[in-house]
Amino acid sequence: MSAAVNVICELARKNPKNYLSLAPQLFKLLTDSTNNWMLIKIVKLVCLLFFFPFPFLFILQNITVQ
């Protein structure tokens, strides 16, 4: 899983809008993971998406936490 997060992080630097649809899965990983390295990468990815000029917060607000 960590390798996949790392690859997505690298690809999102070039074109973040392609990865906005992963917001619910990233949020689930962020809340469920205990791997500190992966949490840091996910936070970096969320920051990339947050600073992209798209309403990422709107996507996060529509996630239902179970």
Rounded Cα distance, 40 and 1, in Å: 13
Q: pLDDT for 3-17, tens place per residue?
A: 887 888 788 878 877
Could you tell me what percent of the chain has a pLDDT over 70? 74
Q: Report the candidate in 53, 1, 65 with the shortest Cα–Cα distance to residue 27.
A: 65
User: pLDDT averaged over the chain?
Assistant: 76
Average pLDDT over residues 21-42: 86
